[in-house]
Structure 1
Amino acid sequence: MENSGTGAFLRTRRLESCFNASSTLSAKETPRSSVKEELGSKRRADMYVDEAGLGSVLISWIKIILCFLTMMVTTSVWAVIMLVLLPWPYERIKQGNIFGHVSGRLLLWIVGNPIKIEGAEFSNERAIYICNHASPLDIVLIMWLVPTGTVGIAKKEIIWYPLFGQLYVLANHLRIDRKNPTAAIESMKEAARAVVKNNLSLIIFPEGTRSKDGRLLPFKKGFVHLALQTGLPIVPMVLTGTHLAWRKGSLHLRPTPLSVKFLPPIDTSDWTADKINDHVKMVHELYVRNLPESQRPLALEGPENGSKS
């Protein structure tokens, strides 16, 4: 897989330092706080709320408009590149990733939320990347952070998303029909074949849909099937705070601190088809342990045993 120094620069170290500036300042101020205030702060860490005053709403709208205009420009540029590369599908995948690195970085800079990244050393693995999903910001973070040579799998309706959806299809990423289990399974097999043939990585949301309140949903089995078919390790990406920064159905961006934690790769070489439910449960429990209390399931549910995808 191609991972240039420029790509790594766009996705990790220096920008991470920039985003972490505010959290570093807070750490320096901690000694001046009393023990009681520190404990209270920890209890409130998972429940960030800001004042939704008129000024905050106006700033939010300005940011959203700037993000949309930025996407218009970057999408237009890369759409031309994709059209030129129509005969070369693998090159379109790589260009789609480069588009994501550039656009994701710009959008996150506009939004301005402080971001903490952990486990960045695992972000350049050839692997199946999985991610919890509760906000549009999850997409932006993934665009920025996944390595070059990563193909995405999303619902077929993504083509109707303005700008992003059309470029997603041009970039040769895969779509599945969630309402048609047979077609979804075939799409997964197609993805596995493409990954093995072209030495690609994958990115997938194991919940299958976006959580409404940020709490982790049960995992579907598709990512395990993909691991069995490709032999790739699984790298979990644990996102926190995005559901508060940009809530589902809202156009109000909040300055909530965000966190992205790459967990060590999970070796799948000894996984077997007769233990799929056990594998799903193990990875789901790993997320539960690494998420804050406010994003854990209220009642721990097992994987959707009836899911075929």
Structure 2
Amino acid sequence: MNKFFGYILTPFHYLYFGLILVIFHPIQWICLKLGGYEAHKRSVDILNWFLTSSYYLLGNSVHFINNQQLPVAQPIIFIANHQSMYDIPPLIYFLRKHHAKFVSKIELASGIPSISFNLKYGGAANIDRSDPKQSIAEILKLAKNMKDKNWSTVIFPEGTRSKTGVMKPFAVGGIATILKKVPHAIIVPVVINNSWKMVQYGSFPLRAFTAMSWEVLAPISSEGRTAEDVVKAAEEAIREKVVP
């Protein structure tokens, strides 16, 4: 049934999703040129509200749970499992007050309306996985902005999406680099459930009538702990909450 209705509803989703990207590309440009970072960020927040709303055209639901009292004037490293590209718009929108930036593949920073513009000009770390020196430089630039501007970051330590929802081991590298430069950053795990099901059948059809959730878990103290210990604790907290 989910697949059957997916065939019917997916074209409407893609049409709406694509129109949003095309419309917001010039809007972002105008906001950045006339209003600087703050205006551009507001446009990106609104963009991602619309992108998240596109999930509803498939009959899918978005539940974002955040019962944590997190400070807005302190850098946060949000550590999340990664199930699909549809993980990202709700994270950007619902964590908007934390100015959360992403560590992204450099290939995504060109050729995609709206998304590439935001990655290029919005403060993301766009890394070339074939060039370790460039990758470290990008992450260090992000860390400096976190320290100087109280920005936050969202990192997917699995390194790639899980196509079945089963978590892959977490890598420490990028998080350790940021913690060295921003030792006062708060570590906050985020567990994502069932977004992989939206692309269970591939890019067409998308799965319809799927309940997806994002939950912000309790912060993890990094005081007196190595980056490896912190990431392991985050991984264990997320793994306990992932629905098989």
**TM-score interval for Structure 1 and Structure 2 normalised by the shorter chain:** 0.7 to 0.9
Q: 1:106 to 1:115 in 2, by over 3 A?
A: closer
1:117 and 2:64 equivalent?
yes
* 1:81-122 Cα shifts (integer Å, max 9, x gaps): 12335xx4x436634652444334433444441233333445
| Residue ranges of structure 1 left out of the alignment (5+ in a row) | 1-49, 295-309
| Equivalent residue, structure 2, for 1:143 | 92
Q: CA deviation at 1:267?
A: 1.9
The amino acid that maps onto 1:81 is: C
| Residue identity (%) | 22
Counterpart secondary structure, 2:166: coil
Instruction: Determine which structure has more spread, i.e. the larger CA radius of gyration.
Output: 1
Q: Which TM-score applies when normalising by structure 1?
A: 0.68
**Would you tell me which structure has more strand in proportion to its own residues?**
2
Q: Which has the higher contact order (CA 8 A, sep 6+)?
A: 2
Q: Which TM-score applies when normalising by structure 2?
A: 0.85
| Equivalent residue, structure 2, for 1:33 | none
Give the one of 148, 157, 163 matched to 1:206.
157
- Check whether the contact 2:10–2:205 (CA below 8 A) recurs between aligned residues: yes
Map 1:107-256 onto structure 2 (within 5 A). Answer: 107-122=54-69, 125=72, 126=74, 127-148=76-97, 149-163=99-113, 164-221=115-172, 222-230=174-182, 231-247=184-200, 249-254=202-207, 255-256=209-210
Q: 1:276 to 1:68 in 2, by over 3 A?
A: same
| Residue ranges of structure 2 left out of the alignment (5+ in a row) | none
- Check whether the contact 2:119–2:126 (CA below 8 A) recurs between aligned residues: no
- Residues of 1 paired with 2:8 and 2:18: CA distance? 15
- Report the count of equivalent residues: 237
Q: 1:156 to 1:110 in 2, by over 3 A?
A: same
The amino acid that maps onto 1:208 is: G
Q: 1:116 to 1:51 in 2, by over 3 A?
A: closer
- Residues of 1 paired with 2:202 and 2:232: CA distance? 30
| Equivalent residue, structure 1, for 2:224 | 270
- Residues of 1 paired with 2:129 and 2:194: CA distance? 27
* 1:247-298 Cα shifts (integer Å, max 9, x gaps): 3842322221111111011122333xxx333333222122211112x2xxxx
- Check whether the contact 1:101–1:145 (CA below 8 A) recurs between aligned residues: no
